[in-house]
Amino acid sequence: MKKIAVAGLIGYETAKALYEENREALEARFPKFWLKKFLEAGPKAEELMNEQNREVENGAVIEITEGGLFGALWEACEQQKAEGCANGCEVWIENVPILQEVVEISELFDINPYEASSKGSFLIVEEEEKIRNHSGQLTIIGTMQKKKDRVVVMKDKETKRFLTPPERQAKDLANR
């Protein structure tokens, strides 16, 4: 069964842009050491995901840009469907590599960090053994499933969110 992994940090690009646009307000709200930690954590995924590592035999490598993680998950499922593979997924939100600072900055501006651009971070769908060959550089966040449901399991392990196509996510954001 194929696993779903992430290289990099989710939502970091968007949170950093929000910081740069609203520096004074954020510096007045959050402690300096907290913001310094956030800024120093920057993405290193592009270094890990050189051209050689972006090639997978029977899976997918998707840069997490517009639509964020949820959009990239939908795209990965659609790619797998087109290849005749299992095209459902189950992702565990507690395994997603995201900084608390990203969550708080994003929420302050009413942005869902899981739907925000994470340029420089990548979603990888591949056999588990091949993902493990990346020596801990990737975080496994879920599995591809034969059933068609595309589900994100929340931290309480009981609540589930079903993914929607990225176009619908954009409309939902516009209607806030």
Q: Where are the domains of the chain?
A: 2-174
Task: Give the residue, 28 or 43, on which the prediction is more confident.
Answer: 28
d(CA 35, CA 27): 8
Q: Which fold has domain 2-174?
A: Phosphoribosyl-aminoimidazole Synthetase; Chain A, domain 2 (3.90.650)
Average pLDDT, the chain: 86
Residues sharing a CB contact under 8 Å with residue 175, sequence separation 6 or more, in sequence order? none
Asked whether the predicted pLDDT for residue 134 surpasses 70, the reply is no
Q: What pLDDT does 173 receive?
A: 45
User: Which amino acid is present at 146?
Assistant: K
Per-residue model confidence as pLDDT tens digits over 119-133: 889 999 998 888 877
Structure tokens at 103: 């969550």
User: Which amino acid is present at 95?
Assistant: N
DSSP 9: -
Provide the whole-model pTM.
Answer: 0.86
Structure tokens at 91: 């992702």
